[in-house]
Structure 1
Amino acid sequence: MDATGRDGIIASDESHQHQEPLLQPKQQPAAETVSSALEDMLSDTELPRFRRLWRATRIELKTLFRLAAPAVVVYLLNNVTSMSTQILCGHLGNLELAAASLGNNGIQIFAYGLMLGMGSAVETLCGQAYGAHKYEMLGVYLQRSTILLMATAIPVMFIYIFSKQLLLLLGESTSIASAAAVFVYGLIPQIFAYAANFPIQKFLQAQSIVFPSAYISAATFAMHLLLSWIVIYKLGVGLLGASLMLSFSWWVIVVAQFVYILVSDRCKLTWRGFSSQAFTGLWDFLKLSTASAVMLCLETWYYQILVLIAGLLQDAEIALDALSICMTISGWVYMISVGFNAAASVRVSNELGAGHPRAASFAVIVVTSSSFLIAVFLAIVVLALRNVISYVFTSGTTVSPTSSSGSPPTRRLHHPQWHSARSLRSGCRVWMASFLSRM
């Protein structure tokens, strides 16, 4: 975000509360503050340069992985919860797998990318406010983001309602478009769950509260598997029941996380109840949210285009099934990147808010290097398992070999670029980050 947009949000807030600028730390007691250990180490010119960098790297890696590990678990479990529905539908038949694939990767990913991107504005502002000890503003930012995302969910809902007509207009076959539309109808409640979940998730992550979300996601995933199996195979509800069960599971995550915020002592400073201040400064907040969304949508929507194109091929069912398996595998690994990105954004915004510019810059270097090494390792794993992993999704002898030839690891090499863009956004340079994500 440019300086004008950022200052507009801060000025709006300060008209209600006379406080220092956002990036100036406010000295007040708190249960937990951003440590200055990394900044002190990088500023210690008495130590030899190599030793100083080595110690700083150890400090940053410890902090980074403490945030990233549970964040990765959260995103993986949330992704696998969605993908498990697709897997269960896939064992009903090729048409069902194609319909769930088109619904998940062709329609649902539109809402996911938009909501996650817009919700990331909370990550930027809450992270800096937390680092600057302006704890009361975190709850206000959470409420503002939820208001905007709920409003955005309404027009997105109409895309879901008219999904069959849209798919037919794009040239999809009648059978696949009709089946996919049935699946998509059950995902309508999920749109509003996204609108509530991502601001809550970013609100917690900005405070380095990540383990509760991981526990909630794990419990919800176990519940989702059991209930989905009953609904799909025992009750025979089919595609609509599968997608409704997925929407229900996302709402369980939302409610559980919000209950944690209400009852946890760790959120007493940052959540002070609902505030009318959340309805002020919405325009400036919308500009930041939109800029954040542009960057992430450019990352996700071209996959959506691939799915829609695959549905136009001669053997549309086989093409969609094979591409879906490849994208699901890629999505699992991609969630690892998203988890590290969340940790990186929190680290950079916290350090900037605390007035630690050296630590913020060093955090970018460490997370980008770590991400590249992880990308190489995961690329090797995907290549090694490409001939067997597809059978998790289907027992079809045609789909599995096709998908095995289409599981390239090159997507993993986007990790470092995405980390850099996220780090720029944490410093409120969102338009620059959006430009880089197009490159």
Structure 2
Amino acid sequence: MGSSEDGVYQPILQNNEATLSPQSSEKQNESSNKLEYILSDPTLPVLKRFRLATWIELKLIFLLAAPAVAVYMVNYCMSMSTQIFSGHLGNLELAAASLGNTGIQVFAYGLMLGMGSAVETLCGQAYGAHKYEMLGVYMQRSTILLTITGVFICFIYIFSKPILILLGESPRIASAAALFVFGLIPQLFAYAVNMPIQKFLQSQSIVAPSAYISAATLVLHLLLSWLVVYKIGLGLLGASLVLSLSWWIIVVAQFVYILKSERCKYTWAGFSLKAFSGLPEFFKLSAGSAVMLCLENWYFQILVLLAGLVDNPELALDSLSICMTVQGWVFMISIAFQAAASVRVSNELGAGHPKAAAFSVVTVTWISIVISVIAGIVVLALRDVISYGFTDGEIVANAVSDLCPLLALTLALNGVQPVLSGVAVGCGWQTFVAYVNVGCYYVIGVPLGSLLGFYFKLGAKGIWSGMIGGTVIQTMILLWITFRTDWNKEVEDAMKRLDKWDDDKRKPLLKK
């Protein structure tokens, strides 16, 4: 956009700037205001309006999504590399690490991520409304609640072996998986601290520092994993302990950044006793968020657990875990766009920009779809060689190749569904979407998958096919709801929500 066009919108930017923004976000706020003005300007031709708005929105989205992809990808690579190190110890170790990582650890991750999305909604909308001082309070409240939750989840980790056996898993695999899970207990509490910190930073469009921290930690993680697993010989337990240590390094580094960075000086005012007030009400909001995202994160993990009940469970677990690992890797791209959608929508609603919020939804959804479809095509092209990065077994490679068409379809769906979930988080629709997820995933998807997999003897392919059906229905419902959204009403709802959660109903900390 040329300088002459920029000059046209300076008056409206000055009039709309009700409060002083942190210096690091002045350009972002300016672009946001400009986007709403362009979309609301009836004097501009439609095509020009679309061109200008698209250019602004693309810059805002990629400012968020590009480093977020790096953060999620690197963090996922740590878990994936741990699984690879374990897999090269043997097929039993691969199955155990897969079951522990995908069946138990992801349970905790899904719960923590879900509860953390409450602070994502509040921080994003508060930041858009310039109520900067509340972001640090929200982050501390969420950390307290997630840490308490972690204490209760810890019992699942401790008793993982009898739980897995009760669910019908092989005692041999369950025993090895339990050993792996014991080493992940410290990681559980790292999640409890990291999720609120991550949402706190993302809501301010501060993502690049987390990417640098995660990348440096990954290098250290690979070195320590090689040393502990192969040279010291601690095996599965050593692999999971190193993974826990790596997550705590990320947590500490990010918090040090918050303390030292000028970009957070208005949103982090230090530890506050206000973090302990209103915890029951905050828990209710977090619980609704947890149900929504947990049901999504656990859905395809049930596929792995069910696979342990079919004939030849070790082969089924090995092949499915490889596919789920690849799916999870690509999903990191989708979840980065989910984060971008959540931040963009919540910021725009908090700022009172309904048209910009709606335009952000459309733009980020199309970008995510294109990338996910390309990923699906790549997977189909490499279907015969993907498994050799995890294990040397030819039988497993053939099984993975047979499942790749379903994997490619799942990747394509991931271009839409996570972004719509991000929109739901940005708007605060978590409770409603939780009901949709229950119906589509657990009333339709899981029973249909079980029917195809066990009754019709289609095995892992049948289970996966049925569960994809549930995802398709859920995606269609969310598309319809999003399409019919009244964004002016969403702005009003956002303002009411901020008034409710601003304890003192104080004016913004920073005034013009």
Aligned with residue 133 of structure 2, among 126, 131, 136:
136
- Kept in 2, the 8 Å contact 1:75–1:339? The answer is yes
Q: Secondary structure at the match of 1:333?
A: helix
CA distance in 2, matches of 1:30, 1:317: 54
Q: Secondary structure at the match of 2:198?
A: helix
Partner of 2:408: 409
- Cα shift readout 1:8-41 (whole Å, capped 9, x = no counterpart): xxxxxxxxxxxxxxxx985245322423111011
**Which runs of structure 1 show a deviation greater than 6 angstroms over 4 or more consecutive aligned residues?**
none
CA distance in 1, matches of 2:311, 2:425: 42
**2:290 is the counterpart of 1:260:** no
**How far did 1:74 drift?**
0.3
Partner of 1:320: 317
Partner of 1:296: 293
**How far did 1:302 drift?**
1.9
Partner of 2:68: 71
**How far did 1:232 drift?**
0.4
Partner of 2:117: 120
- Number of aligned residues: 416
CA distance in 2, matches of 1:28, 1:192: 36
**2:355 is the counterpart of 1:358:** yes
- What residue identity is the alignment partner of 1:429? W
Identity across matched positions, percent: 64
**How far did 1:95 drift?**
0.4
Note the residue ranges of structure 2 that are not aligned, 5 or more in a row.
1-15, 441-473, 475-512
**2:19 is the counterpart of 1:27:** yes
Partner of 1:435: 435
CA distance in 1, matches of 2:279, 2:18: 24
Aligned with residue 35 of structure 2, among 38, 41, 60:
38
- Kept in 2, the 8 Å contact 1:128–1:351? The answer is yes
Q: Secondary structure at the match of 1:246?
A: helix
- Cα shift readout 1:198-222 (whole Å, capped 9, x = no counterpart): 1101100111110100000000000
Note the residue ranges of structure 1 that are not aligned, 5 or more in a row.
1-23
- Cα shift readout 1:134-169 (whole Å, capped 9, x = no counterpart): 111000000000000001111110000000000111
Partner of 1:167: 164
- Kept in 1, the 8 Å contact 2:64–2:205? The answer is yes
Q: Secondary structure at the match of 1:296?
A: helix
**How far did 1:429 drift?**
2.2
- Kept in 1, the 8 Å contact 2:120–2:425? The answer is no
Partner of 1:147: 144
- Kept in 1, the 8 Å contact 2:119–2:196? The answer is yes
Q: Using CA pairs below 8 Å that are at least 6 residues apart, which structure has the higher relative contact order?
A: 1
Q: Under a length normalisation based on structure 1, what TM-score does the superposition of the two structures give? A: 0.92
**2:316 is the counterpart of 1:309:** no
Q: Secondary structure at the match of 2:314?
A: helix
Q: Under a length normalisation based on structure 2, what TM-score does the superposition of the two structures give? A: 0.79
- What residue identity is the alignment partner of 2:157? Y
- Cα shift readout 1:242-267 (whole Å, capped 9, x = no counterpart): 10110000000000000000111111
CA distance in 2, matches of 1:48, 1:199: 43
- Kept in 2, the 8 Å contact 1:291–1:431? The answer is yes
CA distance in 2, matches of 1:367, 1:183: 38
**How far did 1:397 drift?**
1.6
